[in-house]
């Protein structure tokens, strides 16, 4: 696996080596040792999967403390634009975003830590999206920010006229209302201390 640091250093792009022939393919979709080397000690507790059609946008979501989640996301089938927005108050990258084109053929992944709002837009006919979480889903603390808030300046790469969102996501709040993540508490090295072997 190749791990690439994004323009916001806590967000990582992960590119596995895929071995394929006329029988099919094989790749490693997760390695604990790599997570500890590049992030720290992460314990995943829940796996989720969704299927969505072309133009479906899910996001931008996060869970409030104490049920914040980090996610390791990938596409099983199809192609999506995956976006992470830094909502950590006081962060040098506050309000900025990074994105990755996640592709079921490439099997590439993205690490989205706590303190980031996350969303994705389906660019293919449909997409099966899968992700690992290090905290359980808590409906009472599940919230988000408006996907097309002008303050964020996200280019979703599709015309707004073809983008489909849920009723809930159409009523999310503005970016500045996400005020529950102080940067000093949500720096990755504080959330995920390195073990001695990887420090």
| Residues involved in catalysis | 61, 131
- Is-cis flag, bond preceding 66, omega within 30? yes
* 8 Å CB contact between 97 and 84: yes
- Between CA 149 and CA 166 the distance in angstroms is 16
Query: What are the residues facing 83 on neighbouring strands?
Result: 99, 119
| DSSP per-residue codes, the chain | -EEEE-SSTTSEEEEPPPEEETTEEE-----HHHHHHHT------EEEEEEEETTBEEEEEEE-TTS---EEEEEEESEEEEEEEE--BT-TTTT-EEEEEEETTTT-EEEE-TTEEEEEEE-SSEEEEEEEESS---GGGEEEB-TT-TTT----SS-GGG-B--TTGGGPBPGGG----BGGGS-HHHHSPPPGGG-
Q: Which residues sit in the known binding site for substrate?
A: 23, 28, 46-48, 58, 71, 118, 142, 164
């Amino acid at each position: 696996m190749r791990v690439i640091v994004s323009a916001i250093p806590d967000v990582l792009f992960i590119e596995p080596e895929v071995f394929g022939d006329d029988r099919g393919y094989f790749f490693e979709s997760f390695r604990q040792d790599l997570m500890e080397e590049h992030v720290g000690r992460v314990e995943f507790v829940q796996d989720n999967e969704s299927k969505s059609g072309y133009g479906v946008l899910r996001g931008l979501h996060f869970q409030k403390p104490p049920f914040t989640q980090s996610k390791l996301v990938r596409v099983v089938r199809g192609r999506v634009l995956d976006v992470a927005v830094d909502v950590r108050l006081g962060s040098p990258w506050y309000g900025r975003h990074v994105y990755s084109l996640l592709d079921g053929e490439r099997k590439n992944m993205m690490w989205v830590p706590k303190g980031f709002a996350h969303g994705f837009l389906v660019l293919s006919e449909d997409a099966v999206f899968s992700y690992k979480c290090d905290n359980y889903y808590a409906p009472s603390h599940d919230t988000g920010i408006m996907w097309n808030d002008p303050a964020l300046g996200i280019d979703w790469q599709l015309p707004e006229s073809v983008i489909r969102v849920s009723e809930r996501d159409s009523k999310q709040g503005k970016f500045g209302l996400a005020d529950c993540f102080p940067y000093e508490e949500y720096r990755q090295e504080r959330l995920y201390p390195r073990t001695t072997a990887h420090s």
